Amino acid sequence: MIRLKIIYHCFGGSHSSVTAAAIHVGILPVDRIPTREQLEQVPYFDRQVNKDHGHLRLMGIDEYDNEIYIIGRRNTHKEFESIIMNLAELFEFADDIHLVNCMPYVNWKMVVGGYTSRRLKLVSIGRPIIVKGVQYSYLKIASLVQNVKVQIAAANKKNITRNL
């Protein structure tokens, strides 16, 4: 079985990628929308600041021993994925990386709340807005994670069959 490094990425690495990674490793439920308290207990949720952008953070290990990471990559989606995959190919571990863009699941509440909380440092105003935004998109984010797990399981099955 291939053990992967799965990297969930978004603008700031504080909300959508953290939520997806937390679902992936079982910190958050896959089948229901979490409470505000549950979201706020997730490591890195609404905690990253500018100096944290570009730094991988390990969220945990999934049930298949894959390492699950988050990263904030600002507005460099295409460049980020290109750089990571080019380095992975250069150092011959491209098959061990799986990148997951979480930005399509970000809604206006997450943008406004994130800006208010992280950039303006008005956490008491911004965080409740973020929580509502994450809750609104939560089941879509959970579906993304489920799709990632299906893709990984299919790839592992293909590799096992090929190696028999």
> pLDDT tens track of the chain, all 164 residues?
568 999 999 988 889 999 999 999 999 999 999 999 999 999 999 887 677 776 889 999 999 999 999 998 877 777 888 888 888 888 888 788 999 999 999 999 999 999 999 889 999 999 999 999 999 999 999 999 999 999 988 877 655 444 44
pLDDT of residue 1: 56
pLDDT of residue 11: 86
Q: What six digits make up the tokens of 96?
A: 């061990």
- In three-state secondary structure terms, 52 is helix
Domain spans in the chain, listed from the N-terminal domain onward: 5-105+138-162
- In three-state secondary structure terms, 92 is coil
Contact 34, 130 (CB under 8 A): no
Radius of gyration of the chain (CA): 16
pLDDT of residue 159: 58
How many Cβ atoms sit within 10 Å of the Cβ of residue 44? Answer: 18
The whole-model pTM stands at 0.88
Round to whole Å and give the CA distance between 101 and 93. 20
What are φ and ψ of residue 31, in 5° steps? -110, 0
Round to whole Å and give the CA distance between 71 and 33. 23
